[in-house]
DNA sequence: CGCAGCCTTGACAAATGTCAACAAACGTGG
DNA sequence: CCACGTTTGTTGACATTTGTCAAGGCTGCG
């Protein structure tokens, strides 16, 4: 594994505080791989053999049932995914596929569990990470259960704008069809939802969004830190 | 605190493996209280001062936004809730109210974090607990995003039947209005959903449910361990 | 250029929510 | 134990939201 990858991983909260020797042991068993776009990395229901880390690119976590499919989340560098399944040694609840060319680290789950047992700082870092993940999903669930699709889109745009620096113009960071799935609606419905936000000053041009009057949109969207602040 | 409460708590996975002295320290600062029904124990947005444990009764976790409200989960004995907020020292994301007369233990969050820092077994138990919680919410989210309300109800009935021992007859364990909220629909819609399941042999009489042909219902509901097995 | 995939749009259908009315169940105080 | 009022559940009529299907335009790429 290249030194730069090694250092990047080491700086993740999850690994930052663990003993050198344990980190080295984990990395010895790990391997880094470059995947093209649209590769299914893991499949829901299978045993969790590897903890994954996205170093570059992006990964879609999705789930299917009865011929329907939905995007649950997008993983961007640098972060891990399916930590919970790895720790519990339980089957994956979600599938994962690369959205673009991506650089992924795979660490054998067995190694992770082994180091978890002996490294107390690592165990504590995992607690923090899982608590964070848990809270994120709770927020997503509140978003789904308490808001209409129009409200979800409006709040998504506000979050995205903030994330992109707060300027009036910004780009969507994924395909509209996937955005629709993440927001829990169909692509057709998303198209119409964008139109439904025009009265609040939202202009759409391909993936470029312009929010003409932020206050107006916020009045409609009513963003709330207990739902929308996806950092905590 | 009565000895029997003390022992009940000690047997929880979360506390079973920790050092005696740490458990005792936690319990010293804790107090047990009996609450009547319909008492709001915590309010979303407030700082997480206490880790709560339900010893008896039941507690509804719910959330509100913009004059709407939804039930997120029900906590039954013996288990804890809002562990993630306690550990992260972050505001509650959900409110909690007693559904009936309930016996609740409150442990100051500060104490929990203090013991978490020094007791490695406790830290590991927290990991297991949080991973479990995380996976449960992911399942709930898949349920919401991949199924119609009729399908959610059908699968809920199957889970509930199984949970009640598997007999053709069983009782709902909460009010229909709350069940509706948990399943993400209105009470009126739930009423109609029950009727919609009649063709699959579901009979409703108050809170008593009869499933005449389990195979028929399952054919419709298509239960799936990656969504419905709420134990893992 | 021509194909393939995505996005949009319209017409329509299905699912879900809202409002109002009423019946049934429950709890309280007499 | 009953009477009363409150809450919950049900039902119907209707509105809104969301999904489905089909068609066409646009874009990117070989």
How confident is chain B (232 residues) per 10-residue block, as mean pLDDT?
A: 92 96 96 92 96 95 95 94 96 95 95 96 96 97 97 96 92 93 97 95 93 94 91 53
User: Which tens digits make up the pLDDT trace of A132-172?
Assistant: 999 999 999 999 999 999 999 999 999 999 999 989 999 99
For residue A173, the model assigns a pLDDT of 87
Shortest CB distance from B137 goes to which of A123, A138, A222? A138
Query: In the structure encoding, which two tokens stand for residue B174, read together?
Result: 């909460």
CA→C1' distance for B5 and C29 (Å): 36
pLDDT exceeds cutoff 70 at A198 = yes
| Contact assignment for B126 to A128 by CB distance below 8 Å | no
Q: Which residues contact B198 (CB under 8 A, 6 or more apart)?
A: none
**CA distance to partner chain B, nearest, from residue A157 (Å):** 18
pLDDT exceeds cutoff 60 at A231 = no
Shortest CB distance from A130 goes to which of B72, B134, B141? B134
Strand order in the sheet with A79-81: A31-35, A102-108, A50-56, A79-81
User: Which tens digits make up the pLDDT trace of B147-186?
Assistant: 999 999 999 999 999 999 989 999 998 899 999 999 999 9
The residue-averaged pLDDT of A21-45 equals: 95
Shortest CB distance from A127 goes to which of B63, B66, B127? B127
Residues 178-197 of B with CB under 7 A from strand C: 184-186, 188-189, 192
pLDDT exceeds cutoff 60 at A232 = no
For residue A43, the model assigns a pLDDT of 96
Tell if A159 CB is < 7 Å from nucleic strand C: no
In degrees and rounded to multiples of 5, residue A16 shows phi and psi of: -65, -35
For residue A230, the model assigns a pLDDT of 61
Q: CA nearest B211: which of B146, B176, B174, B164? A: B164
| Contact assignment for A88 to B123 by CB distance below 8 Å | no
Which residues of chain B are within 8 Å of residue A64 when distances are taken between CB atoms?
146
The residue-averaged pLDDT of A70-83 equals: 94
* Closest protein residue to C10 (Cα–C1'): A188
Whether a cis peptide bond, with omega within 30° of 0, leads into A59 is: no
The residue-averaged pLDDT of A22-47 equals: 95
Smallest CA–CA distance from B151 into chain A, residue: A66
Query: In the structure encoding, which two tokens stand for residue A216, read together?
Result: 């107006």
pLDDT exceeds cutoff 80 at A9 = yes
**Local structure of residue B49 (DSSP, 8 states):** -
For residue B231, the model assigns a pLDDT of 57
| Contact assignment for B137 to A132 by CB distance below 8 Å | no
Which residues of chain A are within 8 Å of residue B83 when distances are taken between CB atoms?
131
Query: What domains, with CATH codes, occur in chain A?
Result: 3-144 (2.60.120.10), 147-228 (1.10.10.10)
For residue B230, the model assigns a pLDDT of 61
Q: CA nearest A156: which of A199, A211, A206, A205? A: A211
């Amino acid at each position: 594994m290249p030194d730069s990858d090694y250092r990047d991983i080491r700086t993740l909260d999850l690994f930052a505080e663990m003993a050198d020797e344990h980190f080295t042991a984990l990395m010895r068993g790990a391997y880094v791989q470059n995947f093209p776009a649209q590769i299914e990395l893991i499949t829901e229901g299978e045993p969790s053999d590897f903890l994954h880390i996205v170093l570059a690119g992006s990964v879609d976590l999705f789930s299917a049932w009865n011929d329907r499919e939905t995007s649950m989340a997008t993983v961007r560098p640098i972060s891990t995914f399916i930590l919970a399944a790895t720790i519990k040694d339980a089957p994956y609840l979600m599938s994962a596929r690369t959205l673009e060319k991506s650089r992924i680290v795979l660490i054998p789950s067995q190694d992770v569990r082994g180091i978890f047992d002996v490294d107390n700082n690592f165990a504590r870092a995992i607690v923090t990470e899982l608590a964070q993940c848990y809270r994120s999903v709770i927020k997503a669930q509140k978003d789904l259960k308490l808001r209409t699709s129009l409200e979800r889109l409006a709040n998504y745009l506000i979050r995205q704008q903030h994330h992109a620096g707060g300027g009036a113009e910004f780009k969507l960071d994924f395909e509209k069809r996937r955005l629709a799935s993440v927001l829990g609606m169909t692509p057709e419905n998303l198209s119409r939802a964008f139109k439904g936000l025009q009265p609040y000053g939202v202009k759409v041009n391909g993936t470029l969004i312009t929010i003409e009057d932020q206050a107006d949109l916020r009045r409609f969207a009513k963003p709330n830190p207990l739902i929308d602040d996806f950092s905590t």
